[in-house]
Amino acid sequence: MSAPKMLPALAGGLFIGVLSSLPYIKGGNVCCCLWVVSGGILAAWMMQQNTPRPITVGEGAVVGLLSGLAGTMVWIAIAIVLMFVFSRTPFDLGDFQRAMTEGGRDVPPEAREALENLSPAVILVVGGVIWAFVSMVFATIGGLLGALIFRKKGGPASGVPSAPPPAFTPPTFTPPAPIVPPPPFAPPPPSPPPAPPMDVAPPAVDVAPPPVRPPIDLPPPSAWPAPPTDDPYVGDAPTIMIPARGPMLPPSPKPPAPPAPPPGAVPPPDREPDSH
């Protein structure tokens, strides 16, 4: 897209025409056409401010040329106003005539007289043509300088290759995997029936009566020996033996019950315990 040049060219031309027409200030053009070059730089700067991309050197030269042409139009318009209103022009006609007279000493007298008798309008036209050439040349140089100074960094105009924008990749839609329904409910298999009871013979039990023991033949109590009388401990309380503390022994098994006496047996007499 081409950068806008009309508004920057008009602004640069107005800058050139006004400053080149004001008394005393127009003397700045003596220094390498200072106001003309500055007008071209101003036009290039304004064009860069109104363009998002960096401007090229060619665009700066074109806008500088246009600003020089616009500056010439402004200069001629101000000169016409000054000539008809204030009876003066942006340049001194006396100086111009003296320069023509001094530079034309080798010119024939008829031509010199014709130059001295030139009307201000003719001098204005000739001066405008010369000024247009000078203004467009130096304003083009100013536009080139402005494009080199004020253009934005990066982009195709700077010579630095810019990375291309990433290509748009539309997102791919992947449908979700179908939901697998759970398997139907299957009841567990029935448990097998219990095995039939086995025919086991009961253990043999000996139900025979115990053997009959013969009766015990004990002497009568009167035949028992008498206890000794010289025992000093006769009649005392029995001595109780307290065993010392030691490891705990498991309880002794109970002795088997004595067999029942056979029928008709005489029970033994009660025996007194021995005293110590």
Q: What digits encode the pLDDT tens for the residues 232-241?
A: 665 555 566 6
3-state secondary structure the chain: CCCCCHHHHHHHHHHHHHHCCCCCHHHHHHCCCHHHHHHHHHHHHHHHHCCCCCCCHHHHHHHHHHHHHHHHHHHHHHHHHHHHHCCCCCCCHHHHHHHHHHHCCCCCHHHHHHHHCCCHHHHHHHHHHHHHHHHHHHHHHHHHHHHHHHCCCCCHHHCCCCCCCCCCCCCCCCCCCCCCCCCCCCCCCCCCCCCCCCCCCCCCCCCCCCCCCCCCCCCCHHHCCCCCCCCCCCCCCCCCCCCCCCCCCCCCCCCCCCCCCCCCCCCCCCCCCCCC
Q: What digits encode the pLDDT tens for the residues 148-173?
A: 888 877 554 444 455 677 888 888 87
Higher pLDDT pick, 105 / 12: 12
**Residues 170-179: what's their mean pLDDT?**
84
Helices 6-19 and 120-150, packing angle to 10 deg: 130
Q: Which band of pLDDT confidence, cut at 50, 70 and 90, is reported for residue 82?
A: confident
Q: What digits encode the pLDDT tens for the residues 41-78?
A: 888 888 888 888 888 888 888 888 889 888 888 888 88
Higher pLDDT pick, 182 / 117: 182
Q: What digits encode the pLDDT tens for the residues 209-254?
A: 777 777 777 777 777 777 666 666 655 555 666 655 656 666 777 7
Residue 158: what pLDDT?
A: 46
Output the average pLDDT for the chain. Answer: 75
Tell me the pTM. 0.49
Share of the chain above pLDDT 90, in %: 0
